[in-house]
């Protein structure tokens, strides 16, 4: 079998394969024998039709099937013979195929880039140093209380934190617009459930008041006709309700699985431990982000478009799942989530994946079995029946492989951080977590 590889440019390769005529003939013969053994032709018993009749009836089909079989058989052989490493599936064109002659085809594909990692000790990492303060614990307990707050009618003007019920009608240049009307709409002032101007415009008014509020729509507002415009909203305030926070009593402690005997001190201890766990996760996330960003910046390389296309499809499915959409036909999904939404992120993820794999290979990193078990335990701990979760994961090799891949990635980050020049920077817990939230939303 003859194999020649050309490089038209970049990562693209064209591999020309010539399969000897005798191998093609044998493949066609094998296919004809299969047809002959099961063919049902008028005037002949099954398997007894003459060879000439079989060739007349099934010759073209046998040759087509034989060519398909040969391409599937010889493509891996040709890849091995050529010593190339394809990224993604090839596009195959048959260029010569005739009875009794050679089979020739061209496989067009991309290859993985050759990556020569730069020295890892050139990275510079800034490690956050964060102490969990009593004020942080106070804020968490206050948030827990707010989550269980109740509302009751208030005989006063509305203020931030109140729950209000309103009717409203919006007008743009004196004309009502679609979606600008609401009846018995309830929201909490300051919770950013509505446009800020509308929420703030209710403050200072009492139940029964009717008034007009100017509401400015942002430039990136979803409705094209309202972007950057200012509308007038006629508002009737129908109800004002004040929030009441629960006391930290036995019922409250029980609701948060805190030791009732330890009282508020026990709750504070539990809250502090939870915040310290959140802090540690935040620090690790910050270190990981810096390490991987710098690894990427220090090692620019070409990225196979085939892998980017696959990653775009994954990102599209993730976006649909987050929005609670069921899987739909590809054309409709691409209309809702065009490739351009994900292209840059897909390139980055593919590039990072290739670099991480190169670090794993060059440093011979293997998944730490103990850490895999620990990761599984952390996941299972969030469920009421942790042992069932463990058993389920262990019954699914794909999920255990995914868990091992996460652990290996963490090991890569630790290696990068250990080799880097690390400086420390003091941050408050709020600064650390706010940065992480902003990164997650970006």
In this prediction the pTM is: 0.73
The pLDDT tens digits for 203-219 are 999 999 999 999 999 99
User: What domains appear along the chain, each with residue ranges and CATH number?
Assistant: 2-111 (3.30.70.1050), 150-244 (3.10.50.40), 278-441 (1.10.3120.10)
More confident residue, 300 or 35: 300
The pLDDT tens digits for 125-150 are 999 999 999 999 999 999 999 999 99
Per-residue b or e along 288-299, where b marks 16 or more CB atoms closer than 10 Å to that residue's CB: bebbbebbeeeb
Q: How confident is the model at residue 384 (pLDDT cuts 50, 70, 90)?
A: confident
Query: What span, in angstroms and rounded, lies between the C-alpha atoms of 304 and 308?
Result: 7
Q: What percent of the chain has pLDDT over 70?
A: 93
| Residues 6 or more apart whose Cβ sits within 8 Å of residue 269 | 262
Average pLDDT over residues 396-417: 93
For 119: left if phi > 0, alpha if psi spans -120 to 50, otherwise beta; the answer is beta
The pLDDT tens digits for 169-186 are 999 999 999 989 999 999
User: Using the 8-state DSSP alphabet, how is residue 122 labeled?
Assistant: G
Tell me how far apart the 2 most distant CA atoms of the chain are, in Å: 101
More confident residue, 41 or 188: 188
Q: How confident is the model at residue 268 (pLDDT cuts 50, 70, 90)?
A: very high
Provide the β-strand partners of residue 184: none
Provide the β-strand partners of residue 243: 151
Query: What span, in angstroms and rounded, lies between the C-alpha atoms of 290 and 422?
Result: 11
What is the predicted pLDDT for the residue at 100? 79
What is the predicted pLDDT for the residue at 428? 95
Of 294, 401, 409, the residue nearest 360 (C-alpha): 409
Average pLDDT over residues 219-233: 91
What is the predicted pLDDT for the residue at 43? 60
Of 3, 19, 14, the residue nearest 67 (C-alpha): 19
What is the predicted pLDDT for the residue at 42? 63
Structure tokens at 353: 């994946």
Cα–Cα distances in angstroms (integers) from residue 119 to residues 124, 345, 359, 417, in the given order:
12, 25, 11, 13
What is the predicted pLDDT for the residue at 40? 63
User: Using the 8-state DSSP alphabet, how is residue 193 labeled?
Assistant: S
Question: Is 418's pLDDT higher than 80?
Answer: yes
Question: Is 336's pLDDT higher than 90?
Answer: no
Alpha carbon 311 to its chain centroid, in Å, reads 9
What is the predicted pLDDT for the residue at 260? 85
Of 49-63, 88-102, 245-259, 274-288, the one with minimum mean pLDDT is 49-63
Question: Is 330's pLDDT higher than 70?
Answer: no
Give the chain's mean pLDDT. Answer: 90
Average pLDDT over residues 376-397: 92
Q: How confident is the model at residue 44 (pLDDT cuts 50, 70, 90)?
A: low
Question: Is 441's pLDDT higher than 60?
Answer: no
What is the predicted pLDDT for the residue at 62? 84
Structure tokens at 376: 């599984």
Q: Which strand (E) or helix (H) includes residue 170?
A: strand 163-172
Query: What span, in angstroms and rounded, lies between the C-alpha atoms of 421 and 94?
Result: 55
Average pLDDT over residues 356-377: 94
Question: Is 424's pLDDT higher than 90?
Answer: yes
């Amino acid at each position: 079998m003859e194999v020649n590889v050309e490089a038209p440019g970049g990562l693209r390769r064209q591999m020309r394969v010539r399969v000897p005529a005798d191998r093609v003939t044998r493949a066609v013969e094998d296919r004809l024998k299969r047809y002959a053994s099961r063919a049902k032709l008028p005037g002949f018993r099954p398997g007894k039709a003459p060879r000439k009749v079989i060739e007349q009836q099934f010759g073209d089909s046998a040759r087509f099937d034989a060519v398909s079989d040969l391409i599937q058989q010889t493509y891996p052989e040709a890849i091995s013979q050529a010593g190339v490493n394809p990224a993604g599936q090839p596009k195959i064109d048959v260029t010569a195929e005739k009875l009794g002659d050679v089979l020739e085809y061209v496989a067009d594909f991309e290859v993985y880039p050759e990556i020569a990692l730069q020295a890892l000790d050139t990275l510079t990492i800034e490690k956050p140093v964060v102490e969990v303060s009593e004020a942080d614990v106070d804020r968490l307990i206050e948030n827990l209380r707010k989550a269980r707050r109740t509302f009751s009618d208030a005989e006063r003007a509305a203020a931030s934190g109140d729950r209000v019920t309103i009717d409203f009608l919006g007008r743009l240049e004196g004309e009502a617009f679609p979606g600008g009307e609401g009846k018995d709409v309830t929201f909490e002032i300051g919770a950013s459930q509505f446009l800020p101007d509308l929420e703030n415009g209710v403050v200072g008014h009492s139940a029964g008041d009717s008034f007009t509020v100017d509401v400015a729509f942002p430039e990136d507002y979803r409705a094209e006709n309202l972007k950057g415009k200012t509308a007038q909203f006629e508002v009737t305030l129908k109800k004002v309700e004040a929030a009441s926070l629960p006391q930290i009593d036995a019922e409250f402690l029980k609701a948060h699985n805190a030791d009732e005997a330890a009282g508020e001190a026990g709750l504070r201890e539990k809250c502090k431990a939870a915040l310290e766990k959140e802090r540690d996760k935040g620090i690790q996330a910050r270190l990981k982000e810096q390490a991987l960003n710098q690894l990427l910046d220090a090692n620019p390389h070409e990225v196979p478009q085939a892998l980017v296309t696959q990653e775009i499809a994954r990102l599209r499915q993730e976006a649909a799942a987050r929005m609670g959409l069921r899987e739909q036909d590809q054309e409709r999904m691409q209309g809702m989530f065009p490739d351009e939404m994900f292209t840059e992120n897909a390139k980055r993820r593919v590039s990072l994946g290739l670099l991480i794999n190169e670090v794993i290979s060059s440093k011979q990193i293997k998944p730490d079995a103990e850490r895999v078990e620990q990761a599984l335990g952390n996941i299972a701990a969030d469920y009421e029946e942790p042992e069932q979760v463990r058993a389920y994961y262990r019954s699914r090799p794909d999920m255990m492989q995914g868990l091992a891949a996460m652990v290996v990635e963490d090991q890569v980050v630790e290696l990068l951080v250990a080799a880097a020049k690390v400086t420390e920077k003091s941050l408050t817990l709020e600064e650390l977590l706010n940065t992480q939230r902003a990164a997650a939303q970006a």
